[in-house]
Structure 1
Amino acid sequence: MRHSAYVFDAYGTLFDVHAAVRRHAEDIGPDSQALSEIWRAKQLEYSWVRTLMGAYADFWELTEQALDFAFHKVPSADPALRDRLLDSYWHLDCYPEVPAVLKALKADGARLAILSNGSPAMLEAAVHSAALDNVIDEVFSVDSIKRFKTDPSVYDLVTTGWRLYPAAVSFQSSNRWDIAGATKFGFRTVWINRTGQPDEYRDMPPGLILPSLEGLLIAG
Structure 2
Amino acid sequence: MEPAAAAHDVVRPQVVLLDVNETLSDLAPMGEAFADVGLDARDVPAWFAGVLRDAFALTVLGDNPSFADVGAATLRVRLAAAGVPDPAGGAEQVMGRFASLEPHPDVVPGLRGLTDAGCRIATLSNGSSAVARALLDGTGADDVVEAYLDVADAGAWKPDARAYRSALATLSVDAGQAMLVAVHPWDIEGARRAGLRTAWINRTGADYPDHLGPADVEAASFVELAEMLGASPR
TM-score (structure 1 length as normaliser): 0.86
Partner of residue 158, structure 1: 167
Residue 159 of structure 1: how far off its partner (Å): 2.1
Q: Match for 2:36 among 27, 38, 52? A: 27
Aligned equivalent of 1:93, options 70, 89, 102: 102
2:39 paired with 1:8? no
- Output one character per residue of 1:144-200: Cα deviation in whole Å (capped at 9) or x when no partner: 123101110111123212222212112100011001111111111111122333322
Report the AA paired with residue 40 of structure 1. Answer: F
User: 2: distance between equivalents of 1:166 and 1:105?
Assistant: 18
Match of 1:37 in 2: 45
Contact 1:31 1:76 in 2 (8 A): no
1: CA distance, partners of 2:211 / 2:35: 39
SS of 1:56's partner is: coil
- Identical pairs, percent: 25
Of 139, 159, 167 in structure 1, the residue corresponding to residue 148 of structure 2 is 139
SS at match of 2:144: coil
Which of 116, 120, 132 in structure 2 is aligned with 1:111? 120
The one-letter amino acid of 1:33's match is: R
Matches within 5 A, 1:47-196: 47-72=55-80, 74=82, 79=87, 81-128=90-137, 130=139, 132-196=141-205
Structure 1 runs of 4+ aligned residues shifted over 4 Å read 72-80
Aligned mates of 1:97, 1:6 — CA distance in 2:
16
Letter of the aligned partner of 2:18 in structure 1? F
Most deviating of 25-34 and 169-178: 25-34
Structure 2 equivalent of residue 218 of structure 1: 227
Change (3 A) 1:97 1:203: closer
Structure-1 separation of matches of 2:23 and 2:51:
16
Give the number of aligned pairs.
218
**Counterpart amino acid of residue 59 in structure 2:** T
CA distance in 1, matches of 2:134, 2:21: 13
Give the distance between the partners of 2:160 and 2:149, measured in 1 at CA: 14
Query: Which range is displaced more, 204-213 or 67-76?
Result: 67-76
1:50 Cα deviation after fit: 0.7
- The answer to whether the 8 Å contact 1:16/1:94 transfers is yes
* Kept after mapping to 2: 8 A contact 1:111/1:137: yes
Give the match for residue 17 of structure 1. 27
